[in-house]
Amino acid sequence: MKSVALTPVALAAAAVLAVGALPASGLPNYNGDYYNTPITTMAPSVTVVTQAPPADIQSTDQARQDYYQNKLDEAQAQARADEAMAKADQAISERDQALADRDAAQARAGDNRVIEDQDQTDDTP
């Protein structure tokens, strides 16, 4: 077996590769100060301040919401009116068809009576 001699440069390169292969969670997270204090202990507390928007912005937003709600209500009402008109048109069409069917039936019945009357008058001596 052949032994491999490592030069100082090769040894340093191997050390850099070995350190680079360590998992990141294994290394402490330092902020770079002189005492190497971890950042987690140096982080300031954060206070979240929430405040309501000014009244004029609130009223503008409410007016905008009301406007679009009214537009939506208007569109829904128009859709209902259009649907009612379509149903009324269909009812009129069905009524007209029923009247036409009735008139045709009456006309056929009248034609049959005329033919029967003629047949009866032809049979009398």
pLDDT in tens, 45-79: 777 777 777 888 889 999 999 999 999 999 999 99
* pTM, full prediction: 0.41
pLDDT at 104 over 70: yes
42, 64, 40: which is closest to 53 by C-alpha?
Answer: 64
CA distance 114 to 108: 10
Range in 5-14, 84-93, 112-121 the model is least confident about: 112-121
